[in-house]
Structure 1
Amino acid sequence: MAKKILFLLHLPPPVHGSSMVGQFIKDSAIINNSFKTNFIDLGTSKTIDEIGKNPLGKILRYLSIVFQTFKQLLVNKPDLIYLAMTAKGFGFYKDAVIVLLVKCFQLPIVLHFHNKGVHTRQEKRFDNFLYQKVFKNTKVILLSKHLYFDIKRYVDEDDVYYCPNGIPPINQDLVTKRLKNETPKLLFLSNLIASKGVIILLKALQILNKKGIDFTCNFVGGEGDVTKEIFAEKLKELQLVNQVFYLGKKYNSDKTVIFNISDIFVLPTFYHNECFPLVLLEASQFGLPMVTTFEGAIPEIVTDGVNGFLVEQQNIVDLANKLEILINDFPLRNRLGIAAKEKYEESYTLKIFEKNMFNILNSI
């Protein structure tokens, strides 16, 4: 008889890494055909703009989530609870209530982390107390061994499973053969947030421009703490108006076009909560060499000198140097891009992710 699993996870909208993975799990044929599944959406904000606003609406949604969970535990009596856990802050407190509710029913629970930050709060007395309660007799899924340090104080590694994210395949007919652009095209695809490396990258591009190196760079994504007005002013200040372009948000076929015309993908992030950027998997899928940083599980995705370069965070000169190498060396770009695509196909397809997740759930 198939085991019953209750999944508490984030589903879009809004669209972000955790909600995309939640949707992949909810739609997974292998998981739904192997277990009796029920799903509860943990999201209390339905749009990006709503985050940090509408507290009454969020409270009501959260109470509904707690009630739905209690009803599932009481009526359906699942064999396992899966919870996409928030590592710190108010989100952690909300999730901790649900974990403690599950523990009252003495049911096995597995916590799946798409973020990090436990180690930054473990010296706080109240947080430390909650972490001890939450992690006691609990299994944990992490995206990479690079992230184990975050929960090391509370969880023995024997109770940890590793499951890298995966993304759906694109129609290979839509992927154009990598051609050598006369002027190499760089691509930054993320929201315009300073900690994602937006300003750092612009300053690195200024260095390249002053050296007379020929390039263009497209920035794709929604506005964040760097608005399009601030971005435009920065381009004037750094004299990059003829080399750098902000294209706004791009989805589906429009995003495919952007990847296809690009030569190098750049994400010089120093975002403290960065764990496993799905956009690096997308870049790999299109065979783009990547220049990014040592943060979270990024060193698992990008091996320095093999499928891209890893640079020190906020090191403008190092970033400029690595970009210059790739801009000037087409055979190297091509070799790293091929390696990036091969690694994606070997490790980061959605099919591999689903198989890994099934094996973990089945094992627990």
Structure 2
Amino acid sequence: MKIIAVHLVNDFSESSKVLKQLVKGWSKNNINAELYMGKGRKGFLSTTTQTTTNHFWYPVFKNPILKLLFIITSQFILFTKLLFTLKKSDTLYINTVLPFGAALAGKIRGCKIMYHIHDTSLTPKIFKLFLFNVVKWTANEVVYVSDFLAKQEPLKIKSNVIYNVLEKDFINQCKGIKTTQKESKIILMICSLKANKGVSEFLQLAHLNRNYTFKLVLDASQKEIDNYFKLEYLPDNLVIYPTQEDTHPFYREASIVLNLSDTRSSVETFGLTILEAMAYGLPTIVPPVGGVVELVKEGENGFLIDSKNIPLLTRSLNELLQNTALYQKMSTTAKEYSRFFCEEYFESESTRILSN
């Protein structure tokens, strides 16, 4: 068996990290794989050494019209490239629904086509409809990152759920960390620089809770951050950081980790940063819908609160940070929950699906 894995944007997102873990697992199980991905960006896949990497043209732009135009152009290039290199015996493994050019080429060549679906919040809606119709027409099998996503985007295709997991290297760095309340009260959020990820709500919480330190790590450059906040008044207890390759120092010093995604426009399908926080024994506060509720149990290892409910968020932060017994209980439970989401589970499930 030979796997041709395809990914559009190499960055520091969950989807890039998952593909890196997949490639690592395939290599460990002696499965021959080759990777195709967009050229020019640095991310988790930049350090992948277990497979041959081929690049195709895809410049990343923030402008939505240019972005859509370049996605379509890149997929025409990818389609042409794969049409003349794919063999019928190859298994085409498409990471996210975006690389539709690969699926069309694979369909023509008669390959087995598998999709790893990470997200449902794609815009514009007509483009999302087109992408999922390509999945329905071309795919033999799909893998979802959560039960929530499988129910949200049901397809009449053989489907599986493989939860995202933590790498062994990450878990090893968490060992020895005590699940106790810290003297410094730091509230952490790691997310994209988008309004629907709760950036404004995090800012409001920082304004209202001046006795705590708020740290915001954004997947964006310093220039993008400066432009985004240029008209905002930032309180002294808020520190904002650009893209970080190593997030361990932030988790080590944090007391609580937040996910404030808007439940109306950006429902989380999993939430890897929440799982990483749990591995450090950190209680979390997340939205009450989406894949994150498969990680966080209300009152056990965190709270489920809508990001628009600022008064309840503030009360919950104070309750956690002032009640040592409650914090200790949630911290211990969080660490215990995180142990299921390990590489062994991920690799065995991935290998089982490919073998079938």
- Interval containing the TM-score (normalised by the shorter chain): 0.7 to 0.9
Residue 352 (structure 1) aligned with residue 345 (structure 2): yes
Where do residues 1-364 of structure 1 align in structure 2 (5 Å cutoff)? 3-10=1-8, 12=10, 14-28=11-25, 30-31=26-27, 33-41=29-37, 43=38, 46=41, 50-52=59-61, 62-74=75-87, 77-86=88-97, 91=98, 95-117=99-121, 121=125, 131-132=132-133, 134-136=135-137, 138-152=140-154, 154-155=155-156, 159-169=158-168, 170=170, 171-172=172-173, 175-209=176-210, 214-223=211-220, 227-228=225-226, 231=229, 234-236=232-234, 240-241=235-236, 243-252=237-246, 255-270=247-262, 272=266, 274-346=268-340, 348-363=341-356
Q: Are the structure 2 counterparts of residues 119 and 358 from structure 1 closer, same or farther at C-alpha, using a change threshold of 3 Å?
A: farther
Identity of aligned residues (%): 22
> Structure 1, residues 322-356: CA drift from partner, whole Å, max 9, x if none?
2121111122122112211111111x223322222
Following superposition, the deviation at residue 97 of structure 1 comes to: 3.4
Q: Are the structure 2 counterparts of residues 191 and 151 from structure 1 closer, same or farther at C-alpha, using a change threshold of 3 Å?
A: closer
Cα distance in 2, alignment partners of residues 352 and 82 from structure 1: 19
Cα distance in 1, alignment partners of residues 224 and 140 from structure 2: 40
Q: Are the structure 2 counterparts of residues 250 and 317 from structure 1 closer, same or farther at C-alpha, using a change threshold of 3 Å?
A: same
Letter in 2 for 1:359: R
Following superposition, the deviation at residue 162 of structure 1 comes to: 0.2
Letter in 2 for 1:314: K
Q: Higher helix share goes to which structure?
A: 1
Cα distance in 2, alignment partners of residues 257 and 313 from structure 1: 25
Q: Are the structure 2 counterparts of residues 307 and 107 from structure 1 closer, same or farther at C-alpha, using a change threshold of 3 Å?
A: same
Following superposition, the deviation at residue 107 of structure 1 comes to: 2.7
Q: Which moved more, 1:298-307 or 1:313-322?
A: 313-322
Letter in 2 for 1:256: H
Following superposition, the deviation at residue 17 of structure 1 comes to: 1.6
Tell me, which stretches of 5 or more residues in structure 2 are unaligned? 44-57
Q: Are the structure 2 counterparts of residues 129 and 206 from structure 1 closer, same or farther at C-alpha, using a change threshold of 3 Å?
A: closer
Following superposition, the deviation at residue 16 of structure 1 comes to: 1.7
Letter in 2 for 1:303: K
CA contact (8 A) 1:11 1:20 kept: no
Letter in 1 for 2:318: E
Q: Which moved more, 1:288-297 or 1:227-236?
A: 227-236
Following superposition, the deviation at residue 81 of structure 1 comes to: 1.9
| Local SS of the residue matching 2:29 | helix
Letter in 1 for 2:268: E
| Local SS of the residue matching 2:207 | helix
Q: Are the structure 2 counterparts of residues 10 and 165 from structure 1 closer, same or farther at C-alpha, using a change threshold of 3 Å?
A: farther
CA contact (8 A) 1:44 1:62 kept: no
Cα distance in 1, alignment partners of residues 102 and 299 from structure 2: 44
> Structure 1, residues 179-209: CA drift from partner, whole Å, max 9, x if none?
4333422112224432221211222343344
| Number of aligned residues | 332
Letter in 2 for 1:70: L
> Structure 1, residues 236-256: CA drift from partner, whole Å, max 9, x if none?
5xxx32x3222444433xx32
Letter in 1 for 2:61: G
Tell me, which stretches of 5 or more residues in structure 1 are unaligned? none
Cα distance in 1, alignment partners of residues 132 and 71 from structure 2: 24
Letter in 1 for 2:259: L
Letter in 2 for 1:335: K
> Structure 1, residues 76-107: CA drift from partner, whole Å, max 9, x if none?
x3342211132xxxx4xxx3333232222333
Following superposition, the deviation at residue 295 of structure 1 comes to: 4.4
Letter in 1 for 2:161: Y
Following superposition, the deviation at residue 164 of structure 1 comes to: 0.7
Structure whose alpha-carbon radius of gyration is higher = 1
| Local SS of the residue matching 1:188 | strand
Q: Which moved more, 1:281-290 or 1:332-341?
A: 332-341
| Local SS of the residue matching 1:203 | helix
Cα distance in 2, alignment partners of residues 294 and 36 from structure 1: 41
TM-score by length of 1: 0.78
Cα distance in 2, alignment partners of residues 332 and 290 from structure 1: 13
Q: Are the structure 2 counterparts of residues 166 and 173 from structure 1 closer, same or farther at C-alpha, using a change threshold of 3 Å?
A: closer
Q: Are the structure 2 counterparts of residues 187 and 57 from structure 1 closer, same or farther at C-alpha, using a change threshold of 3 Å?
A: closer
> Structure 1, residues 290-332: CA drift from partner, whole Å, max 9, x if none?
0111343111121221211111132212221221211111221
TM-score by length of 2: 0.80
